[in-house]
Amino acid sequence: MKNLFLIFLGITFLLSACKKDELSFLIEGNVNDDTFNSSLSGASVSIYTFPLGGTLGTKETTLTTDASGGFSYDLEREKYEKIEIVVEKENYFTYTDVIPFSNLSTEETNEFSYDLTAKAWTRFVIYNQQPLQSDEFKILKDGGKEDCPECCSNGYTFYYGAVDTVVYCPNDGNRYMKFYYWVNGNESNGVDSVYNTPFDTTTYEFTY
């Protein structure tokens, strides 16, 4: 009788373990600091699930990376259309990863690695000292970050007449931002770049 009871317990344990494996996705990963080439501790990792046909996600958890930048979560298996992993930390650019349901496995660990870059800013000060209505100033941003909501797109920006303004352009830290500029068409022009120190703001003045 004792042997039968032990066998029953063993079978129950195996069935329970199999059921658990089938009903969850083990998500593990690391977050790295791409600016300083190190692990990024203290970053927030939020996991959202999206039902089939749904546009609004449900936050399942928010984790904090450990000293080595690691995180781990056992996500209950449902028929999701996708999940989103949002990685963020103060003064770093946020990264969002969209993962289709079909890419998730219950049989193996779902491993992810993310690189975050430190924020830096270029502060453009543009001032026309003796403005005329016909004055034109144009700047061509030819380098620097542009894949974030607050970033300045690469390309031309035009200013006319009286100008006295300040424009902030975020960039990845330890990177250059390159630009060309022209005053009144092509009468006065030049090319320059700014090296953006992580977590800092570099000012560049255009006075004409």
Q: What is the mean pLDDT of each run of 10 residues along the chain (208 residues)?
A: 46 46 87 98 98 90 98 94 97 97 95 98 97 95 95 97 98 98 88 98 97
The Cβ of residue 74 has, within 10 Å, a number of other Cβ atoms equal to 13
Please indicate, yes or no, if residue 61 is contained in any of the structural domains.
Answer: yes
Among 89, 116, 143, the domain-final residue is 116
Number of domains in the chain: 2
* 143 lies in the same domain as 92: no
* 25 lies in the same domain as 111: yes
Task: Output the pLDDT for position 185.
Answer: 75
Task: Output the pLDDT for position 22.
Answer: 57
Please indicate, yes or no, if residue 2 is contained in any of the structural domains.
Answer: no
Please indicate, yes or no, if residue 14 is contained in any of the structural domains.
Answer: no
Residue count (the chain) = 208
Model's pTM, two decimal places?
0.84
Among 53, 81, 116, the domain-final residue is 116
| Contact yes or no for 196/145 (Cβ under 8 A) | no
* 87 lies in the same domain as 162: no
Question: What tokens were used for 114?
Answer: 């993310």
What sections of the chain are H helices per DSSP? 2-22
Residue range of the domain that includes 181: 119-207
Among 116, 136, 159, the domain-final residue is 116
Q: CATH number, domain at 138?
A: 2.60.40
Half-sphere exposure at residue 35, Cβ-oriented, CA atoms within 13 angstroms:
19
Q: What is the rounded CA–CA span in Å between residue 191 and residue 92? A: 28
Please indicate, yes or no, if residue 10 is contained in any of the structural domains.
Answer: no
